[in-house]
Amino acid sequence: MSQAKVSTNLSELGRLTAVEAREALIAQDITSADLVGACIARIGERDADVGAWAHFDPNRALNAARESDAKRARGEAMPLLAGIPVGVKDVIDTRDFPTELGSEVFSGRQPSEDAFIVAALKAAGAIILGKTVTTELAFFGPGKTRNPRDPERTPGGSSSGSAAAVADNQVPLALGTQTAGSVIRPASYCGVIGFKPTFGYISRTGVLAQSPPLDTIGGYARSVDDIALLLDCISGFDAADADMTAGAKPSLLAALKSSELRAPRLAFVKTPAWPNGDEAMRAALEQFAGRFGIIETPLPAEFDEILRLQQIVQFSDIARNYGPIADANPDRVSAKLTEIIAEGRTFSEANYDAARRKQSALYEALRPILDTCDAILTPAAQGVAPVGLGGTGSPMFNGLWTYLEMPCISLPLLDIGGLPLGIQLVGARNDDARLLRAAAWMMRK
Residue 308 to residue 292: CA distance in whole angstroms: 32
Contact 116, 241 (CB under 8 A): yes
Q: How far apart are CA 5 and CA 434, in angstroms?
A: 34
**Mean pLDDT of all residues in the chain?**
96
pLDDT digits (tens, 9 = 90+) for 22-52: 999 999 999 999 999 999 999 999 999 999 9
Chain centroid to CA 373: how far?
Answer: 24
Domains and CATH numbers, the chain: 1-445 (3.90.1300.10)
216-247 tens-digit pLDDT: 999 999 999 999 999 999 999 999 999 999 88
Share of the chain above pLDDT 90, in %: 96
Question: Positive or negative CA dihedral for 358, 361, 365, 367?
Answer: positive
Residue 356's CB is within 10 A of a number of other CB atoms, namely 15
Query: Residue 342's pLDDT is what?
Result: 98
- The predicted pLDDT at position 6 comes to 66
pLDDT mean over 108-130: 98
Catalytic residues, which ones?
89, 158, 182
pLDDT at position 307 is 97
pLDDT score recorded for residue 246 = 87
Against a cut of 0.85, is the pTM above it? yes
- Identify the pLDDT of residue 394: 98
Q: Give me the numbers of helices (H) and strands (E) for the chain, helices first please.
A: 16, 10
Burial class (CB in 10 A: 0-12, 13-18, 19+), 212: middle
Quick one: which H or E segment has residue 327?
helix 306-328
Residue 260 pLDDT grade (very low, low, confident, very high; cuts 50, 70, 90): confident
**pLDDT value, residue 1:** 40
Mean per-residue pLDDT for 404-413?
98
Among the listed ranges 133-137, 191-195, 225-229, 242-246, which one has the minimum average pLDDT value? 242-246
Confidence of residue 248 (pLDDT cuts 50, 70, 90): confident
What integer pLDDT is reported at residue 2 of this predicted model?
Answer: 40
- Cβ atoms of 162 and 174 within 8 Å: the answer is yes
The pLDDT tens digits for 78-101 are 999 999 999 999 999 999 999 999
**pLDDT tens track for 386-395:** 999 999 999 9
CA atoms within a 13 Å half-sphere pointing along the CA-CB vector of 296 = 11
211 vs 10, residue with greater confidence: 211
CA distances from 92 to 202, 203, 209, 237 (A): 13, 11, 10, 17
Residues 6 and 23 sit within 8 Å (Cβ to Cβ) = no
pLDDT at 7: 64
What integer is the mean pLDDT of 207-211?
98
Q: What is the mean pLDDT of residues 195-224?
A: 98
